[in-house]
Homo-oligomer: A and B are copies of this chain.
């Protein structure tokens, strides 16, 4: 079956969108005033309102420096096969499916292709929906390296995270041999992607836990306002923008000299499920809320400053202020790229909203990124009174899939596969 036969999903009029190499076009668009970013949107300027597809191929995986999409479905998997060959084949099959889905195409012969006597290749619920800037990003957890003879390949930087003060981690929502981060502007597109990868993985990998995020809380678009979290605040204002190639190189992408060749061009992801005690926070005074963050609530400006993006004067804040403690100047320059999402998973047994922040941070080395920052925060942050870390995972994010012949994990598996 050709793409044309998948009907409405054919991406004929769709542009492939991404920061990569788009500097000129971006500059031109902004200079021409053609792009209206009217709210806290993190739309790729070139993709605004096009429902465009993000290029799956590149030196780095999409979904990291890519402008943050509106919705998230994140899944951690455990390996269920003992066969390395089977596992590698699954990675190849996943890559092909991801290549098609991110381009807005159905998988294989589609939801009504092939034999009527066989299950459709694609489950079908995304038919007729736009590509919605879907990105799919794979990661390998520490436990994967206990399998398939990979022990010597485990990067030193892929450490087991230490227990931080206040951690109350649910094992069932932590860890995982693999992860897939699906981000898209339409949640049905993200859910469809995870579901179909899980389906392809049947017998080889099974979902360990998953998390739906309904609202982004971070921006990687230069100058954009930061979306508000469930405490009603902007947080993570000084995030790394997708256009800041120097900072990305320094803080996010694994470099050639970093000691693990197969990871060059990759990154490390820390995922934390942070429960927010919404009801307690909502009974806290505005003054206390602003002291806790070290920002004003209205604009998101640091204490004593006028605008969100004004450089903060840390000493003007309380020593326990979140902005002060998380700032690179309080952490020997440690800088991470954040891509977190708000979540709401119904209600707990006490009638409180089961809600919070699904924190996602990318960095070149967690030992110089998340770990020192979180050590600092977990010890002193005034916000700890209102939050609790209840899930945790770390993943090595391999480099991008270069072209149509490449596949996820090739640099890790190829020589012996």
Contacts and interface: CB of A to CB of B under 8 A. Distances in A.
A198 B228 contact: no
Q: Which interface class (under 10, 10 to 19, 20 to 34, 35 or more) fits A?
A: 35 or more
B353 A284 contact: no
Contacts of A186: 215
A145 interface: no
A209 to B, nearest CB: 6
A123 B232 contact: yes
Contacts of A199: 279, 282
B40 A128 contact: yes
Interface in A217-250: 225, 228-233
24 contacts: A71-B214, A111-B298, A112-B298, A114-B286, A116-B287, A116-B290, A117-B285, A123-B282, A125-B229, A125-B232, A126-B228, A127-B228, A127-B232, A128-B228, A187-B214, A191-B230, A191-B344, A195-B278, A199-B282, A206-B351, A207-B347, A207-B353, A210-B344, A212-B212
Interface of A: 7-8, 39-40, 49, 71, 73, 75, 78, 111-112, 114-120, 122-130, 172, 186-188, 191, 195, 198-199, 202, 206-212, 214-215, 225, 228-233, 278-279, 281-287, 289-290, 296-298, 342, 344-347, 349, 351-353, 355
Top 8 A-B residue pairs of the complex, sorted by shortest distance between their CB atoms = A124-B232, A116-B287, A187-B214, A188-B215, A206-B351, A112-B298, A125-B228, A125-B232
